[in-house]
Amino acid sequence: MYDDLRAKSVLVTGSGRRGGLGIAIAARFAREGANVMLHDVAPADEAEGANVGSESELAAAAREICEAGGTAAYHAADLRDEGQVIQLVDAVVAAFGGIDILVNNAGVGFKFGPLLDMSAADWDLVLDVNLRGAFLAMKHAGRQMVAQPERQGWGRGRIISIGSRASKSGSAWAGAYSSSKHGLVGLTRSLALELAPHAITVNAVCPNHVTTQLGSWQNDFMAQAKGQTVDDYLADMRSRIPLGRVGEASDTANACAFLASGQAIYVTGEAMNVSGGEEYH
């Protein structure tokens, strides 16, 4: 669909969970002929496995992409650690000769609850992964992109961060998550201005709810918090969405592919809603 993505080098953070949003994005790029580096945090992370993919899952995901005719490698790293982020970017360069596209997808989306009851440790975990981790990945991938030659009609690089409807609107019981996603849009807009002279675009994709494995946990939590069944909670959600359905991972993956393509060469600093009309500002 996008011929100019063929042979581009793509890093998708947080792409180690089977059925997750990250692996859907990575697989979409692989189908375009891009070289994909899968990433997730090592399973010993303090998140206790609730939102992470193990190294064996990473290996399996990379193998499946290769068996389907794509090109993929994998590297585990804790994005809160700047040294590990540098090693991650170096691994992409070593594997594929450079880094053309960064998709900041890694995030903590399971620390929900009333802000008045939230511990500082839980707050720090969400902000450290969702915002600090994205900043560090942008910083070091961006440095590598700036050092690379510009491609006529495409530029030097693309940075795409996965925001959320929570990047635009607050949500009860998701204060830390919403704060991190609002911050991610501000970071995107600021970096877009800094990197525009280098022919690097910086954008965000803001999907509404997607029922991945993590999304299922969120459904259970929110339904219980509202005193509803999960079916009733999802029915209420669909009723708010003009297009009448909950988002799918492929919706976000398709938006990422477009923003990475040459067709989006004049799009930067945007926070694109992919929400079926549920969010429109």
The pair phi, psi for residue 44, each rounded to 5°, is -80, 5
256, 103 in Cβ contact below 8 A? yes
CB atoms within 10 A of CB 225: 14
Pairing mode, strands 9-12 and 271-274: unpaired
The pair phi, psi for residue 13, each rounded to 5°, is -75, 155
Quick check: is 2 catalytic? no
The set of residues, in sequence order, having a beta carbon less than 8 Å from that of 4 and lying 6+ positions away, is 153, 154, 261, 262
Quick check: is 74 catalytic? no
Q: Which of 177, 226, 233, 266 is catalytic?
A: 177
Strand ranges (DSSP E) for the chain? 9-12, 35-40, 71-76, 101-104, 157-162, 200-207, 271-274
Q: Which of 111, 181, 226, 280 is catalytic?
A: 181
Sign of the Cα torsion 157, 17, 233, 112 reads negative
Name beta bridge partners: 99: none
Alpha carbon separation from 88 to 93, 147, 215 (Å, rounded): 9, 17, 27
The residues assigned a catalytic role are 177, 181
